Amino acid sequence: MSTAPILEVDISHPQPRIVERAAKVLEDGGLIAYPTDTYYGIGCDLASRKAIDRLYGVKGRDRKKPLAFLCPDLSDVSKYAIVSKFAYRTMKQLTPGPFTFVLTATKLVPDMMQTKQRQVGIRVPQAPLMLAIASALGRPIVTTSATDLEGEVLIDAKDIKDKLGNRLDLILDGGVQHNEPSTVVSLFDDQLEVLRQGKGIIVG
């Protein structure tokens, strides 16, 4: 089995040709690895159920545990989740940034991406590379942290290639990423509740 090509990328000012190539791989149902504002991530097109299923397999994740996805802009979130005025104001203050917001999904979100309570996790990361790729794709990108089969976080694209390269279609190398997971925030019933404390800090 062939291993995924690895491309060096400028994470702050991503090269247009790399953005276009990554978006094309996603559009064709592929899986890519990439640096974000938290860990390295592995992702696919939200519209491709087959790719989402592949992503679960690479991650070794229970399919009853939904994955989060990232949107290129806050204005896109309301297409995929029910956003109250309170939720919008909160997200506006915290995005782009290292937060995953838990909201009620709309019908545009595949069932396999929701909990039984129709909850979904959405990110608008402070990661110009990923915002550019999602914009080029025109749809959200399903995303999960890059880990090996033992669950160890992979912080270097070269390690991702060694461990997972034969199960991916493209790896974007943004250098070593010493980071933390996102902070997970529930915004149900107009109440802010931190479900997991990570890199994002909420003040006040």
Residue in 117, 141, 123, 113 with CA at minimum distance from that of residue 183: 123
Residue 1 confidence (pLDDT) above 60? no
Q: Where in the chain are the domains?
A: 6-196
pTM of the model: 0.94
Gap between the Cα atoms of 72 and 95, Å rounded: 11
Count Cβ atoms below 10 Å from residue 48 Cβ, excluding itself.
20
Q: What is the pLDDT of residues 119-153, one digit of tens each?
A: 999 999 999 999 999 999 999 999 999 998 888 99
What CATH code is assigned to 6-196? 3.90.870.10
Task: Give φ, ψ of 55 to 5 degrees.
Answer: -60, -40
β-partners of residue 186 are 102, 193
Q: Give the pLDDT confidence of 100-123 residue by residue, as tens digits.
A: 999 999 999 998 898 888 999 999
CB atoms inside a 10 Å sphere around CB 159 = 17
Measured at the alpha carbon of residue 47, what is the angle toward residues 45 and 53, in degrees to the nearest 5? Answer: 70
